[in-house]
């Protein structure tokens, strides 16, 4: 395994789908990573055009190619749309390349869940067993040396981090309600009526009331904490029963996620706060704060800020993060650092300004 202190040769990396928001963010982070050499950036719409057309402030030499070639690279960051990159990932892995996937193609462990949430069977279900869910606060040991990392969604990252300590400690006494809000960049860079300025400006609305696809990730991970696999987390008590309502909202801001979570509290508020502080002790990017966090506190950072409070016997836990960093590419780089033996914070401590 590579270690940050012993690296004498930079890892050669490619970013597939480098002109979308997740891809652009990944490129900006990797360009300042001391252990990485960016050797390929791919984009069908920008194929043949110089990198400077998308990254005018970065000193990157070369032109976009339509598809990544696994020859000559050691890791590919796949920022391709859902249901597009899965079959490509199979060939990359067969070529010996390790993959950090930013789409939803490998986040769910059960193949039967994909037709329900993504309207088609999974094209390579055998790979689901290899994929490691890329949430370091829960899966750091499995991420070490991982060949395929499935970076979770922005809503699911905020919601899971807001709820994991309570669920794992058995302090949830009812079904959970998650009220979550996202900036417009969470919808991606492609044009669409629902994200045009005149549609979202001075407006706030809920959507996917029947069930957002990130709900499946949240339930999967929290269920694993409530009823742990004996070989993994047998020490965790059984608490939460699995009922969860998740309602997302689109907010007229560029970036940010705020998840406010409600459940009946077992035990005292002090016990709940202690459980969160213990769960996140030593974690570089999950921080328990005394005041309810605003999204601006996390903007352009890889932090998730969590506050624990209550109204009577109803716990109220809020979590804020930047949807393009801790909610996407920042977390992808964090997982990459763990997988390849770099310090977990490498390239993640300075702010990014775009978009």
- Examine residue 351 and state whether it is found in any structural domain, yes or no: no
Strand ranges for the chain from DSSP E: 11-16, 36-42, 75-78, 98-101, 132-133, 148-150, 176-182, 205-206, 244-250, 257-264, 286-288, 304-311, 314-321
Q: Which domain holds residue 282?
A: 155-323
For residue 169, give the CATH number of its domain.
3.30.360.10
- Examine residue 345 and state whether it is found in any structural domain, yes or no: no
How many domains are contained in the chain?
Answer: 2
- pLDDT at position 5, please? 44
Q: Hey, is 248 helix, strand or coil?
A: strand
- pLDDT at position 191, please? 57
Do 145 and 159 sit in the same domain of this protein? no
CB-based contact 324:185 (threshold 8 Å): yes
| Alpha-carbon span 275 to 170, nearest angstrom | 10
Active site residue 154: yes
- Please state whether the peptide bond connecting residue 313 to the residue before it is cis, i.e. omega within 30 degrees of 0: no
Do 90 and 191 sit in the same domain of this protein? no
CB-based contact 339:25 (threshold 8 Å): no
Do 97 and 233 sit in the same domain of this protein? no
Q: What's the pTM? A: 0.92
Please report, in tens digits, the pLDDT of each residue of the chain (355 residues total): 444 444 568 999 999 999 999 999 999 999 999 999 999 999 999 999 999 999 999 999 999 999 999 999 999 999 998 888 888 999 999 999 999 999 999 999 999 999 999 989 999 999 999 999 999 999 999 999 999 999 999 999 999 999 999 999 999 999 999 999 999 887 665 656 567 777 778 888 999 999 899 999 999 999 999 865 433 333 333 445 668 999 999 999 999 999 999 999 999 999 999 999 999 999 999 999 999 999 999 999 999 999 999 999 999 999 999 999 999 999 999 999 999 999 999 999 987 766 6
Do 170 and 310 sit in the same domain of this protein? yes
Task: Spot the catalytic one: 154, 261, 304, 335.
Answer: 154
């Amino acid at each position: 395994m590579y270690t940050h202190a012993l690296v004498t040769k930079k890892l050669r990396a490619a970013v597939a789908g480098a002109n979308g928001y997740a891809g652009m963010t990944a490129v900006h982070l990797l360009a300042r990573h001391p252990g990485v050499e960016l050797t390929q950036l791919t984009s069908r719409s920008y194929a043949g055009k110089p990198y400077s057309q998308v990254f005018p402030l970065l000193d990157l030499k070369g032109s976009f190619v339509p598809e990544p070639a696994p020859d000559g690279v050691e890791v590919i960051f796949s920022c391709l749309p859902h249901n597009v990159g899965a079959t490509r990932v199979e060939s990359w892995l067969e070529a010996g390349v390790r993959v950090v996937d930013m789409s939803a193609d490998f986040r769910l462990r059960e193949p039967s869940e994909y037709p329900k949430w993504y309207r088609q069977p999974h094209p390579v279900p055998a790979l689901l067993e290899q994929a490691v869910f890329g949430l370091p606060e829960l899966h750091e040991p499995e991420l070490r040396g991982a060949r395929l990392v499935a970076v979770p969604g922005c809503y699911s990252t905020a919601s899971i981090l807001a709820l994991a300590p309570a669920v794992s400690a058995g302090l949830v006494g009812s079904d959970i309600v998650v009220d979550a809000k996202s900036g417009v960049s969470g919808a991606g860079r492609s044009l669409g009526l629902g994200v045009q300025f005149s549609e979202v400006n001075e407006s706030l609305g809920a959507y996917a009331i029947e069930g957002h696809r990130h709900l499946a990730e949240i339930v999967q991970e929290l269920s694993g904490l409530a009823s742990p696999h004996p070989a993994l987390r047998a020490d965790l008590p059984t608490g939460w029963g699995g009922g969860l309502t998740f309602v997302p909202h689109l907010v007229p801001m560029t970036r940010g996620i705020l998840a406010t979570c409600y459940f009946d509290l077992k035990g005292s508020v002090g016990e709940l706060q202690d459980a969160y502080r213990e769960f996140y002790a030593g974690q570089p990017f999950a921080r328990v704060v005394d005041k309810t966090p605003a999204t601006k506190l996390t903007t352009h950072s890889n932090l998730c800020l969590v506050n624990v409070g209550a109204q009577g016997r109803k716990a109220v836990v809020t979590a804020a993060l930047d949807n393009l960093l801790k909610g996407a590419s920042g977390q992808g780089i964090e997982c990459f650092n763990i997988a390849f033996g770099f310090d977990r914070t490498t390239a993640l401590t300075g702010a990014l300004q775009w978009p």
